[in-house]
């Protein structure tokens, strides 16, 4: 049975009971508007943990754009149906005041890996993410946390966070789930109008070609990729960059794994994607 829990005290009481039995607890933090990408995380958690908590919280602190926060889809009933289907134990869906009560004054800020790319373009975003994830780990007392590679830089920020603060949660990074045409699933895709939705897969397609070109030694691969994305009908490309896969610093040589990461605007929606190179 899947329980919906709204308060930290109720959540803690349940988790304490599980821990007494020795159950391994997994947590899947989400902002709701669930799709197959989120469900794949919940299924991975179910396969590896005796107990699974999926959190649904549209975290105001990680939105640098108030309009994006206002327009963020909220579909809790449909989300709960999907999670019942997966068989998760608890949906933790707190109100903002439960997470950030009056007087809340702490920010968790990761330097280094959180600074380039999304960190530079969305000021305060990763502070909001790191703060809420640290809190969710404290609230849920989970042993394992499941995150998508779709948000690659976020995954590296969270790995850094738990290492630096000795948070005893094992971080699991799960593969990006895509639509049949290659578009990475995202809650924001629902806001793309039909014509834009047809253009959207061009980002992944161009990135896939660019990754092959980089491997073949083509020094103009990233410029070509940006031009292709633009020509396909995207409004603008914020970045298409090759980086060290774990530090997100400059890609130096081929001794360390590299990642191709991109952000581009289409139909007023900001889409991000990343692939290994
Ligand atoms: P969000 O609700 O967008 O904050 O995402 C919650 C979690 O789901 C994050 O760890 C995301 O990386 C992950 N996620 C979102 N989209 C996908 C996807 N297409 N494939 C895999 N994981 C995803």
Are residues 233 and 151 part of one domain?
no
**Residue 81 sits in the same domain as residue 113:** yes
pLDDT of residue 174: 98
Q: How far apart are CA 26 and CA 165, in angstroms?
A: 19
Q: Which domain holds residue 37?
A: 3-174
- Measured CA distances, 112 to 34, 76, 144, 148, 163 (Å): 30, 35, 24, 20, 14
- Same domain membership, residue 15 and residue 101: yes
Task: Give me the torsion for CA of 173, 39, 162, 126, rounded to 10°.
Answer: 100
Using a 10 angstrom Cβ sphere, with 0-12 exposed, 13-18 middle and 19 or more buried, the burial of residue 102 is exposed
How does strand 51-56 pair with strand 90-92? parallel
Q: How many domains does the chain have?
A: 2
Tell me what pLDDT residue 2 has.
98
* Residues 26 and 93 placed together within one structural domain of the fold: yes
The angle at the Cα of 120, spanning 207 to 72, to the nearest 5 degrees, equals 75
Q: Looking at 5, 29, 32, 38, which residue is catalytic? A: 38
Using a 10 angstrom Cβ sphere, with 0-12 exposed, 13-18 middle and 19 or more buried, the burial of residue 79 is buried
Decide the pairing of beta strands 25-30 and 51-56: parallel
- 127-150 pLDDT tens trace: 999 999 999 999 999 999 999 999
Are residues 66 and 131 located together in one domain of the fold?
A: yes
Residue 217 in tokens = 């030694």
Residue 161 lies in a domain: yes
Around ligand 1, the residues with Cβ closer than 6 Å are 30-31, 37-38, 40-41, 147-148, 150-151, 174, 176-177, 184-187
Please tell me the residue having the least CA distance from ligand 1 atom 11: 148
What SS3 class is residue 185? coil
Cα 12 → chain centroid? 25
- Angstrom distance (rounded) from CA 50 to CA 89: 9
pLDDT value for 233: 98
Whether the per-residue pLDDT at 210 is higher than 80: the answer is: yes
| Domain final residue pick, 143, 174, 205 | 174
- Residue whose CA lies nearest to ligand 1 atom number 10: 147
Q: Are residues 195 and 115 in the same domain?
A: no
* Per-residue pLDDT tens digits for 67-114: 999 999 999 999 999 999 999 999 999 999 999 999 999 999 999 999
CATH number for 240? 3.30.1300.10
Counting ligand 1 atoms within 8 A of each CB, the residue from 30, 36, 38, 157 with the most, and so the one to mutate, is 38
């Amino acid at each position: 049975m899947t329980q919906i829990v709204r308060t930290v005290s109720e959540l803690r009481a349940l988790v304490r009971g599980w821990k007494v039995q020795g159950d391994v607890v997994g947590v899947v933090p989400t902002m709701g508007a669930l799709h197959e990408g989120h469900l794949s995380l919940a299924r991975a958690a179910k396969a590896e943990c005796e107990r699974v908590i999926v959190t649904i919280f549209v975290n105001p602190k990680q939105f640098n754009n108030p309009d994006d926060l206002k327009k963020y889809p909220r579909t809790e009933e449909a989300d709960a149906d999907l999670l019942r289907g997966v068989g998760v134990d608890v949906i933790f869906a707190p109100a903002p005041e439960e997470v950030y009560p009056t007087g809340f004054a702490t920010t968790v800020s990761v330097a280094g890996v959180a600074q380039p790319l999304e960190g530079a373009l969305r000021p305060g975003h990763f502070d909001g993410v790191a703060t809420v994830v640290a809190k969710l780990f404290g609230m849920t007392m989970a042993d394992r946390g499941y995150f998508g590679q779709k948000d690659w830089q976020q995954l590296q920020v969270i790995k850094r966070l738990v290492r630096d603060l000795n948070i005893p949660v094992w971080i699991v990074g799960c593969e990006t789930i895509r639509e049949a045409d290659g578009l990475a699933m995202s809650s924001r895709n629902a806001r793309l109008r039909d014509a834009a939705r047809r253009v959207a897969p061009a980002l992944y397609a161009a990135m896939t070609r660019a990754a092959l070109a980089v491997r073949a030694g083509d020094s103009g691969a990233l410029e070509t990729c940006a031009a292709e994305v633009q020509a396909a009908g995207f409004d603008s490309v914020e970045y298409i960059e090759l980086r060290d896969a774990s530090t997100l610093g400059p890609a130096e040589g081929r001794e360390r794994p590299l990642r191709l990461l991109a952000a581009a605007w289409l139909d007023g929606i900001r889409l991000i994607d990343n692939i290994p190179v």
